[in-house]
Structure 1
Amino acid sequence: MKKSILKSRREFLKKSTLTGIAFSLPVFNIISKPEVAQEVIGHGDFRYKVHKAWGNLDPEKTPVKNCHEMVMDKKGRLIMITDETKNNILIYDKSGKLLTTWGHEFPGGHGLTLFDEGGEEVLFICDPETGRVVKTSLDGKILLELPHPKTLGAYESTQAYKPTETAIAPNGDIYVADGYGSQYILQFSSKGELIRKFGGPGDEDANFSTAHGVCIDTRDKKNITLLCTSRAHNAFKRFTLDGKYLSTIFLPGAYVCRPVMDGENIYAGVCWSRLRYLNQTANSGFVTILNSKDIVISNPGGTKPVYKDGALQLIVQEKPIFNHCHDVCVDNDKNLYVCQWNANKTYPVKLERV
């Protein structure tokens, strides 16, 4: 009888202990984001911890096709454009939480530029599929639409114009990169009046091969210039604000997208690199970072930059972390947010500065 009582007591204590342990264990939400990777990439002082799941959302509710570009507003909100018309604009906070979405009219939603217009921030959106360039409020109200260059006599064909990017000068002039069309940079006034076009296709210094991006370089306040992408040339090309060619930053191996200025540095997504037989190779993207002297100092996901006799040697993807990097956004803590094209509809990746 005593043995039976003792056995029952031991079984009771065992079950109670297990139950207590079960209740003391942390509760995991099965729909939470997966554990972040702890891999560190990059070079020198520009090294980053990879958070691949940072921007993950429910694709049934908030789908993306290609995450084309991202900017950060004064409030620290991260605003991204996709070519998914269910929600062209996605706005995140820095934790990766979705704050809101808007936009259904940009089937080729591609270029996204933020500009402070007298204290009020506005967006410029490029859609190469429809040939539209529009200025909007941060909540999506259209404030201005640039005229199509064919209506101005600057182009002969409607289909020849496929704008990919804008940059806004301090005086409000709007520069449009026709990266998927005729390879010109078009300069408009703040009111949408065409001032000039320059560049065009070709392999001369002042020509472009995929004029994919454009930005204003204000690092030298006395000599503000225009930095333009010539992606198939693996280069950024520098021009005066009135369209005169100045110089080339050659980035051998790197099919760079738009240049992004932050402080003294230039950041860019590299869509492809020259891996196989030095050809443009699929799923070979990385990020590149240049310093104030236009020297590459880090290639997160890519090979370490090496210069010989002042010339940058071939830079290519080193680790298959990215598919095709299309844009980089830099926050106030110098973390990076990487948008990708043709990456199986994945959301932005965060690179945490270490």
Structure 2
Amino acid sequence: MNRILPFVAFSIAFVFALPAWSADPVRMGCGDMTFDTVPGWGLRADGNSPLGSTHGGVVVDRAGNIYTSAQAGVFVFSPEGAVIHTYLGPEYANIHDMEIRQEDGEEYIYGARNKDAEGIKFRVRGGDIVLKLPFPQESGLDLKKFSPTAITVAANGDIYLSDGYASNNIFVFDKTGAYLRHFGTKGNGLKEFNTAHGMTLDTRYQPNRLLICDRNHQPKGRLLHYDLDGNFIEEVITGLGMPTSVAIHGDYVSVPDLHGRLVILNKTNTIIAVLGNNPDPAKGRSFNIPQADWVEGVFSGTHGSYWDKDGNLYVQDWNVSGRLMKLVRVRE
């Protein structure tokens, strides 16, 4: 189903320039998708971010701990916002996208490492890297660059790795890392990808589908559905700006837009809320917003998001100082 949305109007409270450590939360969204920010969440006692620059994703484990990938590695926060663990070192750097999955009673994180040209899989407990997915020579492709931006896993364990910053092929591996196939073409046509930037398994549908962010599609970014064999199903929604990633919670989907907002879709893939909209075009889609210039309740380079079991959202900005925010869902 194709819905062209050049402009969507919602009742969103305009936020003036409050500092990011303001004692007052900011309410955003509307209806069932109303949230309050948690000022200062994730900051150290001195008020500074522990992350360094961020250009990655967010996932939540079954205990409710939050994992975010900064350029330096992976940081683990408690639900209250304290850093409780880190995975640092060159093998954990530059994870552009993450997915968390339970397998045989153990949790694993899958990551797409754009600058390091590979996918990885590591144990949440202990951090051991158990699988690496370099460019598959068996594909027969002759690529000058391999820069994965997204990763997801099907119920049978097949792994989907999107080469979103280069060929825009999506490579499929079995659970052991053996190459199976690839699909996708770089371009701006209906069934082509112009930066297949984000991707997840859309569990709202049976059989499950791939939900893919076509970030730089012209004239506006869009989401696409493909089946697990790599066949085009439909253009889900257009007019999204620059969608960077997608996260599923029941019937809902959160979609960060690099321009500085996050939209939430319902089961019919209609936008039902817009969060953190940045009214300043110079600051939306901007990496270079230092912490001193963060505004509570206003996003900048919105890049990753994830839901916890209670429907709260964690949102990461692509940001020089490293910004991760908690949004608490308001239940009337």
**Please, what TM-score do these two structures have when normalized by structure 1?**
0.77
Q: For the residues of structure 2 that align with 1:109 and 1:270, how far apart are their CA atoms?
A: 19
Q: Which of 106, 111, 125 is residue 111 of structure 2 equivalent to?
A: 125
Q: Is the CA contact (8 Å cut-off) linking 1:224 and 1:240 kept in structure 2? A: yes
Q: Is the CA contact (8 Å cut-off) linking 2:123 and 2:130 kept in structure 1? A: yes
Name the structure 2 match of 1:306: none
Name the structure 2 match of 1:322: 299
Name the structure 1 match of 2:329: 353
Name the structure 2 match of 1:229: 213
Cα separation, partners in 2 of 1:184 and 1:97, compared to 1, 3 Å:
same
Q: Which of 81, 97, 101 is residue 115 of structure 1 equivalent to?
A: 101
Greater shift after overlay, 102-111 or 124-133? 102-111
**Residue 294, structure 1, aligned to residue 277, structure 2:** no
Q: Counterpart of 1:323 in structure 2: which amino acid?
A: S
Cα separation, partners in 2 of 1:103 and 1:224, compared to 1, 3 Å:
same
Cα separation, partners in 2 of 1:178 and 1:45, compared to 1, 3 Å:
same
Q: For the residues of structure 2 that align with 1:142 and 1:59, how far apart are their CA atoms?
A: 33
Cα separation, partners in 2 of 1:163 and 1:154, compared to 1, 3 Å:
farther
Q: Is the CA contact (8 Å cut-off) linking 2:37 and 2:297 kept in structure 1? A: no
Q: For the residues of structure 1 that align with 2:52 and 2:83, how far apart are their CA atoms?
A: 13
Q: Which of 12, 20, 23 is residue 36 of structure 1 equivalent to?
A: 23
Q: Residue deviations 1:260-283, cap 9 Å, x none?
A: 1111111111112xxxxxxxxxxx
Q: Residue deviations 1:129-162, cap 9 Å, x none?
A: 110211100132010111322x3244313x4210
Q: Counterpart of 2:178 in structure 1: which amino acid?
A: E
Q: What is the CA-CA distance between 1:44 and the residue it aligns to?
A: 2.2
Q: For the residues of structure 2 that align with 1:38 and 1:218, how far apart are their CA atoms?
A: 32
Q: For the residues of structure 2 that align with 1:115 and 1:65, how far apart are their CA atoms?
A: 26
Q: What is the CA-CA distance between 1:52 and the residue it aligns to?
A: 4.0
Q: Counterpart of 1:321 in structure 2: which amino acid?
A: V
Cα separation, partners in 2 of 1:239 and 1:201, compared to 1, 3 Å:
same
Cα separation, partners in 2 of 1:320 and 1:89, compared to 1, 3 Å:
closer
Q: Residue deviations 1:178-221, cap 9 Å, x none?
A: 11111111111111111111112112222101101111112233
Q: Which of 245, 257, 266 is residue 232 of structure 2 equivalent to?
A: 245
Name the structure 1 match of 2:69: 81
Name the structure 2 match of 1:174: 159
Q: What is the CA-CA distance between 1:252 and the residue it aligns to?
A: 0.8
Q: Is the CA contact (8 Å cut-off) linking 1:217 and 1:261 kept in structure 2? A: yes
Structure with bigger gyration radius: 1
Q: Which of 244, 248, 258 is residue 257 of structure 1 equivalent to?
A: 244
Flag structure 1 segments of 5+ consecutive residues without an equivalent. 1-32, 273-284, 304-315
Q: Counterpart of 2:94 in structure 1: which amino acid?
A: G
Cα separation, partners in 2 of 1:61 and 1:232, compared to 1, 3 Å:
closer
SS of the residue aligned with 2:216? helix
Of all paired residues, the percent bearing the same amino acid is: 27
Q: For the residues of structure 2 that align with 1:75 and 1:326, how far apart are their CA atoms?
A: 24
Pairwise mapping of residues 54-93 of structure 1 onto structure 2 (< 5 A)? 54-57=41-44, 62-84=50-72, 88-93=73-78
- The count of aligned residue pairs is 290
Q: Is the CA contact (8 Å cut-off) linking 1:162 and 1:178 kept in structure 2? A: yes
Q: For the residues of structure 1 that align with 2:168 and 2:63, how far apart are their CA atoms?
A: 35
**Residue 201, structure 1, aligned to residue 186, structure 2:** yes
SS of the residue aligned with 2:258? strand
Q: Counterpart of 1:255 in structure 2: which amino acid?
A: M
Q: Is the CA contact (8 Å cut-off) linking 2:56 and 2:94 kept in structure 1? A: no
SS of the residue aligned with 1:266? strand
Q: For the residues of structure 2 that align with 1:289 and 1:269, how far apart are their CA atoms?
A: 9
Q: Is the CA contact (8 Å cut-off) linking 1:335 and 1:353 kept in structure 2? A: yes
Cα separation, partners in 2 of 1:340 and 1:137, compared to 1, 3 Å:
same
Q: For the residues of structure 2 that align with 1:217 and 1:61, how far apart are their CA atoms?
A: 32
SS of the residue aligned with 1:160? coil
Flag structure 2 segments of 5+ consecutive residues without an equivalent. 1-19, 279-283, 286-295
Q: For the residues of structure 1 that align with 2:37 and 2:169, how far apart are their CA atoms?
A: 36
Q: For the residues of structure 2 that align with 1:225 and 1:153, how far apart are their CA atoms?
A: 23
Q: What is the CA-CA distance between 1:73 and the residue it aligns to?
A: 0.6
Q: Counterpart of 1:100 in structure 2: which amino acid?
A: H
Name the one with the larger helix percent: 1
Higher relative contact order (CA 8 A, sep 6+): 2
Name the structure 1 match of 2:195: 210
RMSD: 2.3
Q: Counterpart of 2:170 in structure 1: which amino acid?
A: I
Q: For the residues of structure 2 that align with 1:61 and 1:205, how far apart are their CA atoms?
A: 41
Cα separation, partners in 2 of 1:91 and 1:64, compared to 1, 3 Å:
same
